[in-house]
Each structure stands twice: as structure tokens, then as C-alpha cells.
């Protein structure tokens, strides 16, 4: 019956002047020859009646609809049609009936939806997903580098390659593929422990990349965010996961011939740019892979379907056509069959190219209509493109079948279809109504009971982990905020907690200079990064070259839309670098005077069963006059403790720990008094931070500096509250820890137990 219906379609088309395939009639034409069918033993039935072999689903409207409306409508109607059939199949009302009367229910794997492009595939797959229908997409040219997952993967690589970049980390976490909720993303602004944990996660991924390669790192990333389980819970999750694994393999292969992480990032960006070119050929290994071996509905391009066969085929966009436009770059063939490409082609060349386009479309229509085994469903409507007043249906292959190239007005569509059908019993015309939105009910499944979990009877392993100052936990207190930064980017997070009080005390409008500069995490990170750049360039060189400084400041400000702050920052940086800083041993020096320093000094040291309360009691008793402060929670630190020191300076034979704080304590310099800074140190527990930093520097000097003596070589700590440094009594918190405390901390981390100050 289906073969007879397809014969009828092309026999009708062959009656037109241009013939069935637009090659005309006569000696050099391409006529249609009807074929005979052997037939099959079974029939595809619905409620006991055979499904129409060729069903023309028509959107009958008095006026042409837009082309976008056509694709949206037909995608929805195709999905609704499949829900109706598969729901009936679940109830035993639709399937393949054999001669003996047995019925095999229709399954999703028996169905194919044929399309011409990825855009059409996405349209119909979206509608099917909305109705609970799972599908796979098979294409012969779509590159995995053009997928949304490639763009997200690029941001992941950028974040893993620069784990200290807050901006890169936030961009990676915000990618749709990771699926972080708005609440999870906002938590980065509210929960400093969570922000630090995210940064630590990307640092570990960076280490995995360096040690084991990009493929292993990406697998670690997928499992760190529980992506396999989360993606597979989504209707389109298999497609996403398949693309991610495919891209990971391609990148691993490319990495063997590239030097470094950033080279691989550039390679991915270039591949994505190439894949976005519609004229570019797609390499075989880059074509998107089938995401599932499960028997799902197949959405497949007509090109890819050639030579294949499916029990039920849907052609929802059979009336679509892309006419050759005057501004298109197109190839056409002259009277001798030679291919021509003319950048200034005339109307005759364009008409010839469009005729060749129609001939190709008719060939593909023949391929599409001959893919079904039992039935085909065609989505038909009269539509127009853009603001054109003339419908475009006649320009399509199916429109040519109906009219042979004559314009088909909306009111003429049904008579044309009636003429096509004639009295043929195997062509069925159905006028469409509103598409049904009901989803497919999930099929019942047998659940196998789980066996009881086995009991672990081995020895309990000792807990060992890597921690940091910012990961230490504190007892809750209503009037003391917990701050946890340890790196130059992480330090900024503590500044937000101090801003609220300062804004209450001093209106923002009254602030001037750096006191009016933006507050919050991003501005704080900006200032730290700017000073890190200055350290790399050389503090003295930066102050001596204001033009280069202003250029760098402008470059950084423009990325954030802070052009109004360029002049302010260009003046503030040299002022800060040249300001005399009173250090903890009453020595005075400016950063521009210092020539021996190390920025962002990273340290790691062992912690053997260190009691957090013991650590806390030692630091509290011997810093800031023993004033009360928020206590650490009782826990045992066992493993490694790590951190970063903003700046270590050697001046006149003595070594100093310097840390930048962008906290906002008030609206002018007078707010950065000794007492105000001490209160900030106590509130944020920076005392514990610089005690650990001093211990790290003490151990480094003891190991590397010949004749090292703490009393002679250790100068102390200086915490620079950047907004308040004025070269006088404001903006610098200084303290020199007693050797007895540092020695007790050294022994505490080396041996654990309850070390005490002798």
C-alpha cells in the first residue's frame, strides 16, 4: 500500500511540464517509473485498522502562515502524533499485526523523523522532549565543535588553566551544562567557605591536568560535579554527555602535538570557529556521535537516511525550501555541464542554480518518501517567507509535486491535495487542529528489590586531608563575622563583611578618592591583581613609568567598564608604592624602595594531629594583647596545610610578611586607625592567618638562610589596608610575634599534641 501511494505522488508530479524531477520530458529527461511491491506479512495498525500508508497532515488556513510558524506547528503536531501512537501502543492498541492476529506493540525505535538540517532537528526534538519522548539525532555533517557543550567546555578549560582567576571560575560555574542553580551561583557571593571550596576544586583539576592530561582532568571534572547522574536525569542528557566525552577524546588527541594548556585552549577556540562556518567540511572524527544504543526515536537527516529503512517515518518539514537568493554564493552548471562559480552572477545564473536546487530537493524527497516500511506522515501548509506577499510552497519539492512550479495560494492548497490524492485509497488527508500538549505516560517497569548493604568490617582509615587557613571552622557568634581568604584573590572575600558597617557610619556620597572606589569581591580582586602585576614588573619601575602604568590600568578597567576610575587608580598606585610604611620593628620603608621580595609565596607543611583549639589558644594568648575573639571549633588537623603569602620582603637584612587587605572600614583615611584595624583583625581572625604565614616564612628561612636567627632576621608582619594607607599612622597594622609562639607552633605542627609556650 505504501509503495502504491508513493507511486501515485510521483506519477502525479510527472504530469507537470517539468516532469516529476524537474528535468522535463523527452530524450534527456528523467521520467518516473512506478515500481511494484512484494508486500509484507504484517500491518501497522491502530485500533484494529491499518495506519494510513501516506498521511498528509494539513494546516488549512485562509492566509499563508510564516515559515517560522510552519516549522513550530509541524514540530508540535509531529510530537503529538507520536504521543498518540505510542500511548496506544502501551495500551496494546497500536502495533504490527501479523497474519495470525498477534500484535507486536509499536516501539520508539521503530520511528524515524527525517529533517534537512540541525535546526529542524532541534525544533522537533524540543517538542518531543516536552512530551516525554526520547530521541537520538543522526547527522552526516554536524561537528561536535559546533555544539553548545564545546562552548561550555572552553570556559571549563579556561578556569582550570587559571585556577586563581575568580572571573574564569565564575564563568565556568555559570555554564548551562554544569546546571548550577541561581541559588548555587549566588552562594559564591554569600558563603565564603563555599567560594573557597570552589576555588580549591579548580586548583585540584589544574593539578590533575598537569599530571595526567586533559582527558583525565575532564573525567575528574564530570564526577566532581556529579554530571553523569545529573545529565542522565534529563531528557537530553545523553546527547550532552556524549558530546562532552567526544570532545574530551578529541582534545586529548590534540594535546599530544600541542605545547601547554593555553595552546590547547586556543586549539579548541579555533576548531569552534571553523565549525561555525556553514561551508566548512566536517572531519569524520568530529561528526556528532550517536548518543544511545537504546531503541529511541531517530531524528535523522535525509542525506544520512539514504539506504536505510524504518517502519514509520515522519516528514514534518516536507514543504520547507531554501531558495537561492541573489546575494548567495552558489555554484551552477552551464549548458555543457561545467560547474561555475561567478561572484557577479546574473539573474539567469541564479535561476539556473535555483532550478538545480529544486532538482536536488526532488531527489531528496524521493529518498525521504521511500524510507518507510509501513507508513509516512507529512506536515503540509501554505507559508510565506519574511514580508513576501507571495507564498513559497511552490518553490519546495512537495510544492512542485502539487503544482509543477505554479504559485499555490492558501485557498488553493486543499484542491491541489485533493487532485494529488484523486481516488487513491492509500493517501489520507487530515486537517490539523490544535496540537495536543499531553506527554507520553511513562511505561510501567518492574523494580527489583535491593539486597541489604554489606557491613564494612575492616580497620577504619585515618582521616588525612589538605586544609588551609580559610578552611578552618569557627564557633558561631552573632557579632563576629567569619572571614576565610588565604590567596590574593581569596583575601578579597573578607572585605565584603566589613563594608556594611562602614557604609552605615559614613555615607557613600561623602567618600573621596579610593574610599569612593567600588566595594565588594570583584573590586578587591582587581586591586590585588593590579598589585601582583606591579610586583612582577618591579615596584620601582612602575612608579618611574607612569605612562605604562596608566596603559595597564586602562586595559584592566576597560574590561570591567570602569573607565571613570582610570585616572584615580593611575594616581593611587604610585602613591601607595611610595608611601613610607612603618614596619613592626619601627623600621620605615616604601614598597618602591624594596628590591628583594617574593610575591605570592606558596607554602605547604605537614600537620600531625594538630588540635585546632590548641592552635587557637596559642595564637590568642600571644597576639593583640590577648583580647577575646571568635574561637576555632574543636577538630583535629591531620594532613597538609597550605597557603599563599601576598608579599615577603627583605629590608636591611630582616624579613617581613606583607598582606593586602581591601576591606572598607570607613569613608576617609581617619577611619583606618590602629584601634579600627585591630578590631578588623580580631573580627576577621587575621591574627591566625599571619601567625601561620610567619610560621611558614620561619621554616623557609631556617631551611635556606645560613646562620638564620629568628630574633635577628624576622622583622614581623604588616597588613596593608589599601584604602587607608597614607604614609603616616593610618592603614598599616603591624605586629611582631614572639619567638616563643612561633617555636611552639613549629613544634605543634611537627609533632601534634598539646604544645605550649615555654
CA 509 to chain centre: 39
- The DSSP code for 287 is B
Determine the Cα–Cα distance for residues 371 and 205; give it in Å rounded to an integer. Answer: 48
Contact present, 679 and 637 (Cβ < 8 Å):
no
Query: What residues contact residue 533 under an 8 Å CB cut-off, 6+ apart?
Result: 552
User: What is the C-alpha end-to-end distance of the chain, expressed in Å?
Assistant: 100
> What is the DSSP track for 492-533?
GGGHHHHHHHHHHHS-GGG--GGGGS--SHHHHHHHHHHHHH
Would the CA dihedral through 73, 75, 77, 79 be positive or negative?
negative
Strands 332-333 and 383-384: unpaired
Query: What residues contact residue 135 under an 8 Å CB cut-off, 6+ apart?
Result: 108, 113, 125, 128, 129, 296, 297, 298, 299
Contact present, 537 and 529 (Cβ < 8 Å):
no
142 classed as catalytic: no
114 closest CA partner among 347, 389, 395, 309: 309
Q: Which residues pair with 379 in a beta bridge?
A: 57
Query: What residues contact residue 713 under an 8 Å CB cut-off, 6+ apart?
Result: 653, 654, 655, 701, 705
Residue 206 sits at φ, ψ, to 5 deg, of -60, -45
- The DSSP code for 683 is H
Determine the Cα–Cα distance for residues 644 and 676; give it in Å rounded to an integer. Answer: 25
| Residue 200, C-alpha cell as written in the block | 580549591
Determine the Cα–Cα distance for residues 222 and 179; give it in Å rounded to an integer. Answer: 12
Determine the Cα–Cα distance for residues 12 and 8; give it in Å rounded to an integer. Answer: 6
Determine the Cα–Cα distance for residues 224 and 205; give it in Å rounded to an integer. Answer: 9
Strands 310-315 and 111-115: parallel
CB atoms near residue 648 (< 10 Å): 20
Determine the Cα–Cα distance for residues 485 and 192; give it in Å rounded to an integer. Answer: 8
Contact present, 160 and 264 (Cβ < 8 Å):
no
Query: What residues contact residue 745 under an 8 Å CB cut-off, 6+ apart?
Result: 615, 618, 619, 691, 692, 695, 755
Q: Which of 361, 659, 668, 687 is catalytic?
A: 659
> What is the DSSP track for 562-604?
-GGGHHHHHHHHHHHHHS-EE-TTS-EE-TTT--EEEEEEEEE
CB atoms near residue 651 (< 10 Å): 19
Query: What residues contact residue 117 under an 8 Å CB cut-off, 6+ apart?
Result: 301
Residue 70 sits at φ, ψ, to 5 deg, of -60, -50
Positions annotated as catalytic residues are: 659
Amino acid at each position: 500500500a505504501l509503495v502504491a501511494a508513493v507511486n501515485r505522488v510521483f506519477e502525479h508530479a510527472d504530469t507537470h511540464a517539468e516532469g516529476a524531477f524537474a528535468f522535463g520530458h523527452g530524450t534527456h529527461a528523467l521520467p518516473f517509473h512506478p515500481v511494484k511491491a512484494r508486500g509484507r506479512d504484517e500491518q501497522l495498525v491502530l485500533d484494529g485498522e491499518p495506519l494510513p500508508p501516506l498521511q498528509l497532515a494539513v494546516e488549512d488556513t485562509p492566509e499563508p502562515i510564516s515559515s517560522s510558524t510552519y516549522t513550530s506547528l509541524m514540530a508540535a503536531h509531529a510530537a503529538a502524533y507520536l504521543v498518540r501512537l505510542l500511548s496506544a501502543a502501551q495500551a496494546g492498541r497500536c502495533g504490527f499485526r501479523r497474519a495470525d492476529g498477534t500484535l507486536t506493540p509499536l516501539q520508539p525505535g521503530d520511528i524515524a523523523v527525517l529533517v534537512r538540517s540541525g535546526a529542524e532537528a532541534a525544533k522537533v526534538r524540543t517538542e518531543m522532549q516536552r512530551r516525554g519522548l526520547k530521541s537520538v539525532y543522526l547527522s552526516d555533517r554536524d561537528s561536535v565543535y559546533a555544539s553548545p557543550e564545546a562552548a561550555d567546555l572552553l570556559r571549563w578549560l579556561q578556569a582550570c588553566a587559571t585556577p586563581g582567576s575568580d572571573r574564569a571560575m565564575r564563568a565556568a560555574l555559570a555554564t548551562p551544562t554544569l546546571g548550577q542553580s541561581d541559588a548555587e551561583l549566588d552562594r559564591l557571593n554569600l558563603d565564603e567557605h563555599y567560594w573557597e571550596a570552589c576555588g580549591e576544586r579548580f586548583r585540584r583539576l589544574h593539578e590533575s591536568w598537569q599530571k595526567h592530561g586533559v582527558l583525565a582532568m575532564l573525567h575528574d571534572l564530570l564526577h566532581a560535579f556529579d554530571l553523569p547522574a545529573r545529565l542522565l536525569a534529563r531528557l537530553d542528557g545523553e546527547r550532552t554527555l556524549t558530546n562532552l566525552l567526544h570532545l574530551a577524546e578529541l582534545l586529548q588527541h590534540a594535546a599530544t602535538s600541542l605545547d601547554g594548556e593555553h595552546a590547547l585552549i586556543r586549539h579548541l577556540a579555533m576548531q569552534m570557529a571553523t565549525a561555525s562556518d556553514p561551508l566548512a567540511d566536517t572531519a569524520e572524527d568530529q561528526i556528532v556521535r550517536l548518543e544511545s544504543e537504546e531503541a529511541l526515536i531517530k531524528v535523522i537527516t535525509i542525506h544520512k537516511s539514504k539506504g536505510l529503512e524504518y517502519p514509520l517515518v515522519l516528514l514534518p518539514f516536507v514543504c520547507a525550501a531554501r531558495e537561492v537568493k541573489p546575494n548567495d554564493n552558489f555554484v551552477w552548471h552551464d549548458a555543457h555541464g561545467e560547474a561555475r562559480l561567478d561572484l557577479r552572477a546574473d539573474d539567469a545564473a541564479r535561476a539556473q542554480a535555483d532550478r538545480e536546487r529544486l532538482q536536488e530537493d526532488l531527489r531528496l524527497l524521493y529518498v525521504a518518501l521511500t524510507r518507510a516500511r509501513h507508513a509516512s506522515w507529512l506536515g503540509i501548509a501554505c507559508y510565506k517567507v519574511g514580508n513576501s506577499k507571495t507564498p513559497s510552497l511552490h518553490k519546495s519539492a512537495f510544492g512542485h509535486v502539487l503544482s509543477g512550479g505554479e504559485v499555490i495560494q492558501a485557498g488553493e492548497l486543499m484542491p491541489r491535495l485533493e487532485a494529488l490524492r484523486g481516488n487513491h485509497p492509500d493517501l489520507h488527508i487530515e486537517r490539523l487542529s490544535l496540537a495536543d500538549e499531553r506527554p507520553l505516560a511513562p511505561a510501567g517497569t518492574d523494580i527489583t528489590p535491593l539486597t541489604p548493604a554489606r557491613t564494612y568490617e575492616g580497620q577504619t582509615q585515618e582521616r588525612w586531608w589538605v586544609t588551609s587557613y580559610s578552611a578552618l571552622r569557627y564557633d558561631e557568634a552573632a557579632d563576629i563575622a567569619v572571614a576565610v581568604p588565604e590567596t590574593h584573590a581569596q583575601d578579597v572575600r573578607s572585605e565584603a563583611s566589613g563594608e556594611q558597617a562602614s557604609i552605615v557610619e559614613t555615607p557613600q556620597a561623602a567618600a573621596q578618592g579610593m574610599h569612593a572606589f567600588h566595594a565588594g569581591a570583584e573590586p578587591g580582586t582587581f586591586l590585588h591583581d593590579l598589585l601582583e602585576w606591579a610586583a612582577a614588573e618591579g615596584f620601582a619601575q612602575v612608579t618611574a613609568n607612569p605612562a605604562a602604568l596608566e596603559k595597564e590600568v586602562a586595559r584592566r578597567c576597560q574590561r570591567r567598564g570602569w573607565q571613570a576610575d582610570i585616572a584615580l587608580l593611575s594616581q593611587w598606585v604610585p602613591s601607595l608604592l611610595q608611601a613610607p610604611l612603618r614596619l613592626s620593628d619601627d623600621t620605615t620603608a616604601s614598597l618602591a624602595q624594596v628590591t628583594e621580595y617574593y610575591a605570592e609565596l606558596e607554602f605547604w607543611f605537614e600537620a600531625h594531629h594538630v588540635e585546632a583549639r590548641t592552635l587557637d589558644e596559642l595564637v590568642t594568648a600571644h597576639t593583640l594583647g590577648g583580647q577575646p575573639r571568635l574561637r576555632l571549633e574543636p577538630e583535629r588537623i591531620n594532613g597538609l596545610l597550605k597557603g599563599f603569602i601576598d608579599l615577603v620582603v627583605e629590608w636591611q637584612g630582616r624579613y617581613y610578611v606583607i598582606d593586602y587587605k581591601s576591606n572598607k572600614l570607613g569613608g576617609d583615611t581617619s577611619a583606618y586607625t590602629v584601634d579600627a584595624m585591630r578590631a578588623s583583625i580580631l573580627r576577621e581572625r587575621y591574627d591566625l592567618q599571619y601567625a601561620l604565614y610567619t610560621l611558614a616564612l620561619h621554616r623557609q628561612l631556617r631551611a635556606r638562610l645560613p646562620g638564620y636567627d629568628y630574633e635577628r632576621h624576622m622583622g614581623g608582619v604588616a597588613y596593608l589596608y589599601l584604602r587607608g594607607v597614607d604614609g603616616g599612622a593610618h592603614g598599616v597594622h603591624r605586629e611582631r610575634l614572639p619567638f616563643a609562639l612561633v617555636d611552639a607552633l613549629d613544634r605543634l605542627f611537627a609533632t601534634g599534641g598539646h604544645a605550649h609556650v615555654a
